[in-house]
């Protein structure tokens, strides 16, 4: 294998671009490989196939660099595609835009962690967020412009719903498909209401633990690590508590109903509003984004957030690192290659990292670098 990798790249003779999504999968493209080979095609040029937002038709809104897109197929499906290519002496080229990811919804773990922990998220530096903007209402917060109308109107219509995920031991506010996690340090605003309905010594202990979490504002690296470990432990204990004390779960559900309010009666939503006011994010109408946005987007698309690629710890994103090492993870050989778009958004540290990773045995692999637009 190593010897084969050092033979050098095979320059594409002719490429055929395929747009992979739930309507055209790995199995579908595998089925047309013999036909493409008969036309003289040497490389199949694939759209992004890492996990993207559900229903994505283009694949550029990646939410998880460590998984293939399940809507496109399984790892076995992918390997069968590669094997079929090899049997016809063909390769494939992957199209990637690694400088942004899909956000909003509920399926990007990095973004969910940022919404939950703000500046204290271990992924906060991955995104370009201005935590100290000119607008004082956004101090220490990230704008989340997903609402279909003014915040106050949406709140009083009862469209913002506080829920408890028993399997996670976590609270979150939902707006349709969008999940906004609650900062664990503010859980006592909910727990106090639960304790007023039922007593639990363990819940009292958990309340003290959540209050004691390191503050999310301007944290040190040590505080970020401490907070991450402590809040995970506390949430697991909350999961166990619900299993062992059913009365606590019943009280939680009752309290959540209290936060729901009565549509049209603004005062009944005061508790939910007060809870949202102390979160690391500010919910707003999508219309305010042009004036108040404080995170870097891909052009002006609110649900595509720019990545600070130089800050990413690749232990958290081996799939992303695989883009930069010739895709050995996905069985690429020198017949294969990458089309990396928006290379001009990378900075020198990443350029050096990429150069060090793609040298032998990958140094001669085909790597096409494209610059399409400017972020």
d(CA 5, CA 364): 8
Query: If we measure between CA atoms, which residue out of 361, 352, 358 comes closest to residue 338?
Result: 358
Q: What is the DSSP string of 134-197?
A: SSGGGTT-EEEEEESS-HHHHHHTT-SEEEEETTTTEEEEEETTEEEEPPGGGTHHHHHHHHTT
132: three-class secondary structure by DSSP:
coil
Q: What angle do CA 335, 338, 340 make, to 5 degrees?
A: 160
Per-residue pLDDT of the chain (375 residues; tens, 9 = 90+): 444 444 455 788 899 999 999 999 999 999 999 999 999 999 999 999 999 999 999 998 999 888 899 999 999 999 899 999 999 999 888 888 778 899 999 999 999 999 999 999 999 999 999 999 999 999 999 999 999 999 999 999 999 999 999 999 999 999 999 999 999 999 999 999 999 999 999 999 999 999 999 999 999 999 999 999 999 999 999 999 999 999 999 999 999 999 998 998 989 999 999 999 999 999 999 999 999 999 999 888 999 998 887 776 655 554 555 444 444 445 555 447 666 665 545 444 444 444 444 443 333 334 444 433 332
**What integer pLDDT is reported at residue 9 of this predicted model?**
55
Report the DSSP beta bridge partners of residue 367: 338
Give the burial class of 246: count Cβ atoms within 10 A of its Cβ; 0-12 exposed, 13-18 middle, 19 or more buried: exposed
3-state secondary structure of 365: coil
> So what's the pLDDT on residue 320?
56
Q: How far apart are CA 288 and CA 76, in angstroms?
A: 45
Dihedral (Cα; 16, 340, 28, 334), 10-degree rounding: 70
DSSP H or E segment with residue 16: strand 15-18
Q: Classify the phi-psi angles of 150: left when phi > 0, otherwise alpha if psi is within -120 to 50, otherwise beta.
A: beta
In this structure, the strands spanning 91-96 and 337-340 are parallel
| The predicted structure's pLDDT at residue 360 | 34
What CA–CA distance (Å, rounded) separates 73 from 51?
10
Q: SS3 of 54, please?
A: coil
Residue 12 confidence (pLDDT):
85
Q: How far is it, in rounded angstroms, from Cα 196 to Cα 70?
A: 45
Q: How far apart are CA 301 and CA 103, in angstroms?
A: 10
Please report which helix (H) or strand (E) contains residue 339, including its range.
Answer: strand 337-340
In whole angstroms, give the CA distance from residue 44 to residue 31: 12
The confidence score (pLDDT) of residue 74 equals: 93
Predicted TM-score (pTM) of this structure: 0.84
Pairing of strands 43-46, 50-52: unpaired
According to DSSP, the β-strands at 281-285 and 297-298 are unpaired
The residues facing 315 across adjacent strands are none
The tokens describing 327, both together, are 């895709």
């Amino acid at each position: 294998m190593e010897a084969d990798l050092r033979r050098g790249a095979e320059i594409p003779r002719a490429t055929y671009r395929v747009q992979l999504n739930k309507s055209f999968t790995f199995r579908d493209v595998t089925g047309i490989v013999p036909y493409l080979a008969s036309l003289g095609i040497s490389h199949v040029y694939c759209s992004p196939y890492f996990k993207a937002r559900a229903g994505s038709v283009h694949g550029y809104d990646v939410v998880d660099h460590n998984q293939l897109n399940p809507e496109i197929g399984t790892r076995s499906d992918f390997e069968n595609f590669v094997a079929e290519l090899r049997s016809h002496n063909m390769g494939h080229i992957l199209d990637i835009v690694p400088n942004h990811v899909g956000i909003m919804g509920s399926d990007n773990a990095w973004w969910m962690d940022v919404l939950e922990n703000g500046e204290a998220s271990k992924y906060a530096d991955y995104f370009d967020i201005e935590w100290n903007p000119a607008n004082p209402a956004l101090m220490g917060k990230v704008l989340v412009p997903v609402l279909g109308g003014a915040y106050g109107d949406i709140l009083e219509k009862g469209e913002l719903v506080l829920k408890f995920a028993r399997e996670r031991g976590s609270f979150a506010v939902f707006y349709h498909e969008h999940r906004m996690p609650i900062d664990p340090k503010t859980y006592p605003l909910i727990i106090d209401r639960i304790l007023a309905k039922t007593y639990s010594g363990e819940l009292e202990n958990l309340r003290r633990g959540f209050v004691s979490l390191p503050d999310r504002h301007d944290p040190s690296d040590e505080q970020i690590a401490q907070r991450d470990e402590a809040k995970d432990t506390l949430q697991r204990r909350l999961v166990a508590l619900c299993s062992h004390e059913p009365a606590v779960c019943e009280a939680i559900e009752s309290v959540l109903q209290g936060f729901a309010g009565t549509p049209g009666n603004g005062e009944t939503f005061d508790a939910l509003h007060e809870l949202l006011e102390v979160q690391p994010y500010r919910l707003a109408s999508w219309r305010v984004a042009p004036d108040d946005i404080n995170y870097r987007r891909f052009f002006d698309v609110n649900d595509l957030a720019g990545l600070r690629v130089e800050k990413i710890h690749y232990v958290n994103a081996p799939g992303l690192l695989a883009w930069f090492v010739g895709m050995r993870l996905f069985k690429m050989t020198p017949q294969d290659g990458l089309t990396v778009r928006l290379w001009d958004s990378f900075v020198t540290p990443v350029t050096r990292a990429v150069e060090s990773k793609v040298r032998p045995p990958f140094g001669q692999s085909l790597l096409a670098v494209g610059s399409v637009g400017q972020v």
